[in-house]
Protein backbone atom coordinates (compact mmCIF):
# COMPACT_ATOMS: atom_id res chain seq x y z
CA UNK A 1 0.00 0.00 0.00
CA UNK A 2 1.36 3.41 -1.01
CA UNK A 3 0.01 6.77 0.09
CA UNK A 4 0.90 10.14 -1.31
CA UNK A 5 0.80 13.57 0.28
CA UNK A 6 -0.83 16.05 -2.09
CA UNK A 7 -0.68 19.56 -0.73
CA UNK A 8 -1.99 22.46 -2.85
CA UNK A 9 -1.40 26.07 -1.81
CA UNK A 10 -2.61 28.14 -4.75
CA UNK A 11 -0.20 30.94 -5.58
CA UNK A 12 2.08 30.23 -2.62
CA UNK A 13 3.55 27.00 -3.91
CA UNK A 14 3.15 24.27 -6.49
CA UNK A 15 1.07 21.15 -6.13
CA UNK A 16 3.44 18.68 -4.62
CA UNK A 17 3.51 14.89 -4.54
CA UNK A 18 6.00 13.38 -2.12
CA UNK A 19 6.68 9.66 -2.36
CA UNK A 20 7.17 7.52 0.74
CA UNK A 21 10.88 7.35 1.47
CA UNK A 22 12.87 4.15 1.12
CA UNK A 23 15.62 5.08 3.56
CA UNK A 24 13.59 5.58 6.73
CA UNK A 25 16.38 5.98 9.25
CA UNK A 26 15.95 8.75 11.82
CA UNK A 27 17.86 11.26 9.71
CA UNK A 28 15.74 10.48 6.67
CA UNK A 29 12.52 10.76 8.69
CA UNK A 30 13.31 14.30 9.84
CA UNK A 31 14.44 15.48 6.41
CA UNK A 32 11.22 14.05 5.00
CA UNK A 33 9.20 15.86 7.67
CA UNK A 34 10.94 19.17 6.88
CA UNK A 35 10.16 18.70 3.20
CA UNK A 36 6.48 18.00 3.89
CA UNK A 37 6.27 21.21 5.92
CA UNK A 38 8.00 23.30 3.27
CA UNK A 39 6.81 25.24 0.24
CA UNK A 40 7.82 25.33 -3.41
CA UNK A 41 9.52 21.95 -3.07
CA UNK A 42 11.89 23.40 -0.47
CA UNK A 43 12.04 22.05 3.10
CA UNK A 44 11.77 24.24 6.16
CA UNK A 45 15.03 24.73 8.06
CA UNK A 46 16.12 22.64 11.04
CA UNK A 47 15.71 25.78 13.18
CA UNK A 48 12.12 26.18 11.98
CA UNK A 49 11.35 22.53 12.74
CA UNK A 50 12.84 22.94 16.21
CA UNK A 51 10.66 26.00 16.84
CA UNK A 52 7.49 24.25 15.65
CA UNK A 53 8.05 21.07 17.65
CA UNK A 54 9.85 22.50 20.71
CA UNK A 55 12.59 19.92 20.18
CA UNK A 56 15.95 21.64 20.90
CA UNK A 57 17.66 22.75 17.70
CA UNK A 58 20.85 20.94 18.66
CA UNK A 59 18.82 17.73 19.01
CA UNK A 60 17.23 18.13 15.57
CA UNK A 61 20.64 18.71 14.01
CA UNK A 62 22.04 15.74 15.95
CA UNK A 63 19.38 13.41 14.52
CA UNK A 64 19.98 14.58 10.97
CA UNK A 65 23.73 14.18 11.43
CA UNK A 66 23.26 10.64 12.73
CA UNK A 67 24.55 11.45 16.22
CA UNK A 68 21.31 10.61 18.03
CA UNK A 69 17.99 8.84 17.52
CA UNK A 70 14.47 10.18 17.52
CA UNK A 71 13.40 9.24 21.03
CA UNK A 72 9.95 8.86 22.55
CA UNK A 73 9.91 12.47 23.78
CA UNK A 74 10.78 13.76 20.30
CA UNK A 75 7.95 11.72 18.78
CA UNK A 76 5.54 12.92 21.47
CA UNK A 77 6.39 16.55 20.64
CA UNK A 78 5.96 15.97 16.91
CA UNK A 79 2.63 14.26 17.53
CA UNK A 80 1.24 16.95 19.83
CA UNK A 81 2.77 20.06 18.21
CA UNK A 82 2.39 19.08 14.54
CA UNK A 83 -0.38 16.49 14.59
CA UNK A 84 1.70 13.85 12.83
CA UNK A 85 3.37 10.52 13.54
CA UNK A 86 5.74 8.18 11.72
CA UNK A 87 4.28 4.93 10.36
CA UNK A 88 7.11 2.38 9.94
CA UNK A 89 4.98 0.06 7.80
CA UNK A 90 4.07 2.72 5.24
CA UNK A 91 7.40 4.59 5.60
CA UNK A 92 5.47 7.85 5.88
CA UNK A 93 4.42 10.59 8.23
CA UNK A 94 0.67 10.40 8.81
CA UNK A 95 -1.83 12.79 10.39
CA UNK A 96 -3.09 11.71 13.80
CA UNK A 97 -6.71 11.69 12.63
CA UNK A 98 -8.53 9.85 9.81
CA UNK A 99 -10.78 11.60 7.32
CA UNK A 100 -12.35 8.28 6.40
CA UNK A 101 -12.81 5.47 8.88
CA UNK A 102 -9.73 3.28 8.84
CA UNK A 103 -8.06 5.22 6.01
CA UNK A 104 -4.70 6.79 6.97
CA UNK A 105 -4.31 10.46 6.09
CA UNK A 106 -0.82 11.43 4.88
CA UNK A 107 0.77 14.24 6.87
CA UNK A 108 1.41 17.49 5.02
CA UNK A 109 1.76 21.20 5.61
CA UNK A 110 -1.98 21.42 4.98
CA UNK A 111 -2.84 18.87 7.68
CA UNK A 112 -0.48 20.67 10.08
CA UNK A 113 -2.23 23.99 9.45
CA UNK A 114 -5.63 22.39 9.95
CA UNK A 115 -4.44 20.71 13.16
CA UNK A 116 -2.95 23.96 14.45
CA UNK A 117 -6.21 25.79 13.82
CA UNK A 118 -8.19 23.01 15.46
CA UNK A 119 -6.22 22.87 18.70
CA UNK A 120 -6.26 26.68 18.96
CA UNK A 121 -10.03 26.66 19.40
CA UNK A 122 -11.34 27.08 22.95
CA UNK A 123 -14.52 25.26 21.90
CA UNK A 124 -12.63 21.97 22.21
CA UNK A 125 -11.20 22.68 25.65
CA UNK A 126 -14.20 21.95 27.90
CA UNK A 127 -15.20 18.54 26.47
CA UNK A 128 -11.59 17.38 26.29
CA UNK A 129 -10.90 18.43 29.87
CA UNK A 130 -13.82 16.22 30.83
CA UNK A 131 -12.47 13.33 28.75
CA UNK A 132 -9.05 13.54 30.39
CA UNK A 133 -10.65 13.71 33.85
CA UNK A 134 -12.68 10.60 33.02
CA UNK A 135 -9.56 8.82 31.73
CA UNK A 136 -7.70 9.64 34.93
CA UNK A 137 -10.57 8.41 37.10
CA UNK A 138 -10.77 5.19 35.08
CA UNK A 139 -7.04 4.56 35.47
CA UNK A 140 -6.89 5.40 39.17
CA UNK A 141 -9.89 3.16 39.85
CA UNK A 142 -7.90 0.19 38.57
CA UNK A 143 -4.58 0.75 40.36
CA UNK A 144 -3.14 -0.28 43.69
CA UNK A 145 -2.95 2.52 46.31
CA UNK A 146 0.79 3.06 45.87
CA UNK A 147 0.41 3.33 42.09
CA UNK A 148 -2.45 5.81 42.55
CA UNK A 149 -0.14 8.00 44.64
CA UNK A 150 2.66 7.76 42.06
CA UNK A 151 0.26 8.58 39.23
CA UNK A 152 -1.11 11.64 41.02
CA UNK A 153 2.35 12.93 41.90
CA UNK A 154 3.51 12.40 38.32
CA UNK A 155 0.51 14.18 36.80
CA UNK A 156 0.85 17.10 39.20
CA UNK A 157 4.56 17.48 38.46
CA UNK A 158 3.84 17.38 34.72
CA UNK A 159 1.29 20.18 35.16
CA UNK A 160 3.85 22.26 37.08
CA UNK A 161 6.59 21.61 34.51
CA UNK A 162 4.31 22.60 31.65
CA UNK A 163 3.19 25.78 33.43
CA UNK A 164 6.78 26.80 34.14
CA UNK A 165 7.80 26.11 30.55
CA UNK A 166 5.00 28.39 29.35
CA UNK A 167 6.16 31.14 31.73
CA UNK A 168 2.82 31.60 33.44
CA UNK A 169 2.66 34.05 36.33
CA UNK A 170 4.19 33.32 39.72
CA UNK A 171 0.77 33.58 41.37
CA UNK A 172 -0.54 30.77 39.18
CA UNK A 173 2.55 28.65 39.88
CA UNK A 174 1.97 29.13 43.60
CA UNK A 175 -1.68 28.10 43.27
CA UNK A 176 -0.68 25.00 41.31
CA UNK A 177 1.93 24.11 43.92
CA UNK A 178 -0.72 24.45 46.64
CA UNK A 179 -2.79 21.85 44.79
CA UNK A 180 -0.09 19.23 45.20
CA UNK A 181 -1.64 15.86 46.16
CA UNK A 182 -1.95 15.41 49.92
CA UNK A 183 -0.59 12.09 51.07
CA UNK A 184 -1.18 10.65 54.53
CA UNK A 185 1.97 8.89 55.58
CA UNK A 186 1.98 6.12 58.17
CA UNK A 187 3.50 7.22 61.46
CA UNK A 188 6.05 4.79 62.85
CA UNK A 189 5.57 4.22 66.55
CA UNK A 190 8.29 5.72 68.73
CA UNK A 191 9.89 2.44 69.96
CA UNK A 192 10.06 1.04 66.45
CA UNK A 193 11.50 4.30 65.13
CA UNK A 194 14.14 4.41 67.85
CA UNK A 195 15.16 0.83 67.11
CA UNK A 196 15.39 1.56 63.36
CA UNK A 197 17.61 4.59 64.02
CA UNK A 198 19.80 2.57 66.42
CA UNK A 199 20.22 -0.22 63.88
CA UNK A 200 21.15 2.32 61.20
CA UNK A 201 23.69 3.99 63.46
CA UNK A 202 25.21 0.59 64.36
CA UNK A 203 25.46 -0.34 60.69
CA UNK A 204 27.21 2.94 59.83
CA UNK A 205 29.66 2.47 62.73
CA UNK A 206 30.54 -1.05 61.59
CA UNK A 207 31.05 0.17 58.03
CA UNK A 208 33.36 2.96 59.19
CA UNK A 209 35.32 0.53 61.39
CA UNK A 210 35.78 -1.96 58.56
CA UNK A 211 36.98 0.78 56.23
CA UNK A 212 39.54 1.96 58.78
CA UNK A 213 40.92 -1.57 59.27
CA UNK A 214 41.49 -1.92 55.54
Domain ranges for the chain, please list them: 5-119, 122-178
**Angle formed by the axes of helices 46-53 and 72-82, to 10°?**
80
Give me the average pLDDT of each 10-residue run along the chain (214 residues).
Answer: 38 44 78 94 95 97 94 96 94 87 88 92 83 94 91 94 94 94 58 64 67 59
Residue 29 has a CB neighbour count (10 Å cut-off) of 22
CB 36 within 8 A of CB 93: yes
On the 0-12 / 13-18 / 19+ scale of CB atoms within 10 A, 68 is middle
**What is the predicted pLDDT for the residue at 209?**
63
Torsion of CA 128, 124, 78, 140, to 10 degrees: -10
Residue 63 has a CB neighbour count (10 Å cut-off) of 21
In Å, the largest CA–CA distance within the chain is: 83
Smallest CA-to-CA distance from 149 within 176, 181, 178, 177 is with 181
Amino acid sequence: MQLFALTPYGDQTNYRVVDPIQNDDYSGQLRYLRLLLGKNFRPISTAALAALTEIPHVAVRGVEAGRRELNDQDRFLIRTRLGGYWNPQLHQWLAIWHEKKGAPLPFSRQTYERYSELISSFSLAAPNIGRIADALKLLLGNLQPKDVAMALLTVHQSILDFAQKKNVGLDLIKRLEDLRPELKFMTIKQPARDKALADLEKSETETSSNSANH
